[in-house]
């Protein structure tokens, strides 16, 4: 590759090496930090939802304590999922055009519909059916503003007879089943936005949607682990170790599958070594060295694999406190690793020229539309929303009705 990069752009800015098309020689890539966090956030939504579905669809009873937390996590992040997209548009005031005159051959046009479907038809409905019984109960026992909220959220359906509760649970189960393919659709489609760009050898890849789905599941479970431990720590409660161990187990298996598919992608690229392979090699060796080799592979995959894997083997012999800390650390590292993966995909695809003769460097700005400040703010927003949601709907002071799962078969971890 060194030979390839000896090409020159006279009078070019110092952040370019080799030859880049003149239109590519702008100060920053057209898609920057905002588009990095966009697939990150939607991935967390899809992953947290699938984590919750383990309870309802696959009846993993051990995970019952985190069911509502993961659903609320998914909701909080979904509410912010469109923000990065909106902020990066040149004309945000025209965004409604995506819904009013969608161009059906564009993967991006479908996002509005997938998003609306997922928010309205899956998440909100499932949450409502899950909470309705409690809303009725809470609206009777709580007064003031909170009481009004709970009363409004019952939507006037205050029937809590056994028959109606059974209907609630049946609906919830059906919605969960519809929700799993919807979650795959939501995030697989985000992968398709990148995978469908044949002009870019770093993106144009059939495995892209699959890698996005798998890494989404991994990051979603990791986020639930993180939120659960932080919440119990804030509330000074004890962690339900059976629940945490089960989450760690699912996290481990999801991570194994994810690592295998991402490895397959690397092997395939190396073996096929198509046009542009040389420039991709430079990317891995130089431009993305830290975020790819250290961030995504090391911190995001290998270390958590090692830690979670050893816990699977030595589970009972590791003291609870150590186990808890190891699981927490792996969750946090996976969250960082998946963020690094999104960075590598989105920015990596823009670090080399489509002439395949040159590479660009990128220095993140702080302020402005493309700065990282706005991305950081958008990244904090779901956590703020989640805090409010948890205060309202996971309050310790409010008794919840115990749920009886739909089917009698149980899968216990």
Closest CA to 399 of 176, 55, 191, 134: 134
Q: Which stretch binds other proteins (CB under 8 A): 3-11, 58-66, 120-128, 304-312?
A: 3-11
- C-beta of 196: minimal distance to other proteins in Å? 8
Q: Contact between 139 and other proteins (CB under 8 A)?
A: no
Identify the residue among 281, 303, 354, 381 touching other proteins (CB under 8 A): 354
Identify the residue among 66, 79, 98, 359 touching other proteins (CB under 8 A): 98
- What character string, x for contact with other proteins (CB under 8 A) and - otherwise, covers 245-284? ------------------------------x---------
Identify the residue among 357, 360, 372, 385 touching other proteins (CB under 8 A): 357
Please give the Cα distance from 193 to 189 (Å, whole number): 6
Q: Which stretch binds other proteins (CB under 8 A): 324-332, 346-354, 377-385, 395-403?
A: 346-354
Please give the Cα distance from 240 to 232 (Å, whole number): 9
- C-beta of 126: minimal distance to other proteins in Å? 28
Residues 200-219 that bind other proteins (CB under 8 A): 200
Identify the residue among 349, 372, 386, 389 touching other proteins (CB under 8 A): 349
Binding-site size, other proteins (CB under 8 A)? 51
Q: Which stretch binds other proteins (CB under 8 A): 71-79, 101-109, 243-251, 394-402?
A: 101-109
- C-beta of 56: minimal distance to other proteins in Å? 34
Q: Contact between 298 and other proteins (CB under 8 A)?
A: no
Pick the closer one to other proteins by CB: 106 or 401: 106
Q: Contact between 114 and other proteins (CB under 8 A)?
A: no
- What character string, x for contact with other proteins (CB under 8 A) and - otherwise, covers 160-199? ---------------------------------x--xxxx
Pick the closer one to other proteins by CB: 109 or 413: 109
Q: Which stretch binds other proteins (CB under 8 A): 86-94, 285-293, 311-319, 332-340?
A: 86-94
Q: Contact between 4 and other proteins (CB under 8 A)?
A: yes
Closest CA to 241 of 182, 324, 316: 324
Q: Contact between 31 and other proteins (CB under 8 A)?
A: yes
Q: Contact between 238 and other proteins (CB under 8 A)?
A: no
Pick the closer one to other proteins by CB: 24 or 240: 24
Pick the closer one to other proteins by CB: 201 or 220: 201
Cα-trace Rg, the chain: 23
Cβ contact 72:390 at 8 Å: yes
H/E/C letters for each residue in the chain? CCCHHHCCCCCCCCCEEEECCHHHCCCCCCCCHHHHHHHHHHHHHHHHHHHHHHHHCCCCHHHHHHHHHHHHHHHHHHHHCCHHHHHHCCCHHHCCHHHHCCCCCCCCCCHHHHHHHHHHHHHHHHHHHHHHHHHHHHHHHCCHHHHHHHHHHCCCCCCCCHHHHHHHHHHHHHHHHHHHHHHHHHHHHHHHHHHCCCCCCCCCCCCHHHHHHHHHHHHHHHHHHHHHHHHHHHCCCCCCHHHHHHHHHHHHHHHHHHHHHHHHHHHHHHHHCCCCHHHHHHHHHHHCHHHHHHHHHHHHHHHHHHHHHHHHHHHHHCCHHHHHHHHHHHHHHHHHHHHHHHHHHHHHCCCECCCCEEEECCCCCCCCCCCHHHHHHHHHHHHHHHHHHHHHHCCCCCCCCCCCCCCCCCCCC
Identify the residue among 102, 147, 309, 371 touching other proteins (CB under 8 A): 102
Residues that bind other proteins (CB under 8 A): 3-4, 6-12, 19, 21-26, 30-31, 85, 88-92, 94-95, 97-98, 101-103, 105-109, 111, 193, 196-200, 275, 349-350, 353-357
């Amino acid at each position: 590759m060194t030979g390839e990069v000896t090409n020159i752009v006279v009078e070019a800015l110092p952040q370019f090496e080799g030859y880049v098309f003149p239109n590519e020689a702008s100060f920053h890539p057209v898609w920057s930090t905002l588009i990095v966090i966009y697939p990150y956030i939607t991935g967390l939504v899809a992953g947290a939802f699938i984590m919750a579905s383990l309870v309802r669809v696959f009846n993993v009873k051990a995970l019952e304590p985190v069911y509502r937390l993961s659903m609320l996590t998914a909701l909080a992040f979904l509410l912010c999922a469109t923000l990065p997209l909106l902020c990066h548009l040149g004309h945000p005031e025209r965004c409604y055009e995506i819904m009013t005159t969608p161009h059906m051959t564009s993967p991006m046009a479908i996002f509005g519909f997938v998003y609306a479907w997922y928010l309205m038809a899956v998440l909100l409905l499932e949450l409502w059916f899950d909470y309705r019984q409690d809303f009725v109960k809470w609206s009777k026992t709580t007064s003031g503003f909170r009481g009004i909220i709970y009363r409004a959220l019952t939507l006037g359906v205050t029937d809590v007879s056994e028959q109606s509760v059974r209907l609630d649970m049946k609906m919830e189960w059906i919605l969960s089943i519809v929700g799993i393919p919807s979650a795959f659709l939501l995030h697989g489609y985000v992968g398709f936005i990148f995978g469908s760009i044949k002009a870019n050898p770093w993106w144009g890849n059939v495995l892209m949607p699959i890698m996005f789905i798998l890494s989404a599941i991994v990051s979603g479970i990791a986020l639930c682990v993180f939120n659960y431990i932080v919440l119990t720590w804030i509330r000074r409660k004890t962690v339900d170790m059976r629940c945490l161990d089960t989450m760690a187990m699912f996290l481990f298996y999801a991570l194994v599958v994810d690592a295998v598919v991402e490895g397959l992608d690397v092997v395939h690229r190396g073996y096929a070594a198509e046009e542009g392979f040389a420039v991709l090699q430079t990317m891995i060796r130089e431009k993305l060295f830290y975020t790819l080799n250290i961030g995504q592979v090391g911190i995001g995959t290998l270390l958590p694999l090692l830690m979670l894997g050893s816990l699977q083997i030595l589970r009972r012999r590791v003291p609870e406190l150590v186990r808890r800390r190891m699981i927490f650390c792996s969750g946090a590292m996976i969250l960082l690793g998946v963020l690094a993966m999104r960075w590598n995909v989105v920015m990596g695809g823009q670090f080399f020229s489509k002439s395949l003769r040159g590479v660009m460097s990128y220095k993140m700005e702080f302020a402005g539309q493309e700065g990282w400040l706005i991305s950081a703010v958008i990244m904090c927003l779901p956590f703020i929303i989640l805090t409010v949601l948890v205060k309202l709907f996971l309050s310790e002071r409010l008794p919840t009705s115990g749920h009886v799962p739909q089917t009698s078969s149980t899968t216990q971890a």
